[in-house]
Amino acid sequence: MKYHTIDELLTNNQSWVAEKLALDVNYFDRLAEGQKPPFLYIGCSDSRLPLNSFTRTEPGELFVHRNIANQVSLTDMNFLAVLDYAISHLQVKHIIVCGHYGCGGIKAALEGSTTGIIDNWVNPIRELYLHNQQEINALPNREARLNRLAEINVLAQVKNLYQTSIVRKALHEQKAPTIHGWVLDIKTGLIKDLNVSTVQWQLPSCPLFAKPSIVTLREIHPTEGVAGCCCEETHQLR
C-alpha cells in the first residue's frame, strides 16, 4: 500500500475542497451550519475502517466513536458522553455497532498476545471467548474462530448499550434509536448485518425511571434470586 506524505495530505485537502465547490458552491456553508446526523457509529480504531468510504456517506451523516475492537465500555466516560450527546441532543435515529474481521483486538484477546493497557482493554473480549469457548473451538480453523469471536463481540456490545442508563432512559421516554450490529469484511469490503434481536434487552417499563414513591425501610423487601434493573421491591405508602 502506498502511503502519503504529510505535505500530500494538505495538498489532497485543497483538491478535495475545490472538487466539492465545483459541484456545489454552498456545500461548506451548509456544512458549517451545524450537524444533525441520523446515525451514531461505534466502530474499531483500525485505520482500514473509515465507514464514510464503505457506505458513501458525506460529512455530517455519521456521528462517530471509535476505539480498539469497538467496545461499549460502561466505565468509559468518553464513550458515555458521546452516547448521551448523540441521543439527547442530536437525537440520532440509529446506532450502529460495527466490528470487523481481521481485528487486531480480537486476535489479542483470543491469543493473549498483549500486555499492559491494551491487555486490560481487550480483557472483556477474552471473557466472551471463555463463555463461548465450546462453540468457537468447534470451528474448523483459526480464521473462522476469530471471525466468530468478532461477531460475538458485536452482539455483546449491542447488549451493553442496553445496560446504560442513557439508553434505558430513552426507552422509557419512547425516544430510543434503533440499534444495529454489523461486521465489515475487509477482504471483500462488504458489511454483514447480524440482524441482532434486541427485544430481550428493551425494558421501557424499568422501575428505575418510574416516579419515585415515598417508602420506609420496613416496607422494602429484598427479592430473592431475581436479576434485573432493580434489586428491591418497593411498596407505596398508603
**Residues acting as catalytic residues:** 44, 46, 48, 100, 103
d(CA 114, CA 99): 20
60: which 3 cell numbers?
A: 455530517
Instruction: Evaluate whether 231 touches 222 at the Cβ level (below 8 Å).
Output: yes
Tell me phi and psi for residue 128, to 5 degrees.
-60, -40
Q: How far apart are CA 118 and CA 99, in angstroms?
A: 17
Beta strands in 12-128 (DSSP E): 39-44, 62-67, 94-100
117-121 own/partner pairs: CB under 8 Å, 24+ apart: 118/68, 121/67, 121/68, 121/69, 121/71
Nearest to 86 by CA among 166, 203, 204, 169: 166
CA dihedral over 87, 158, 199, 56, signed as positive or negative: positive
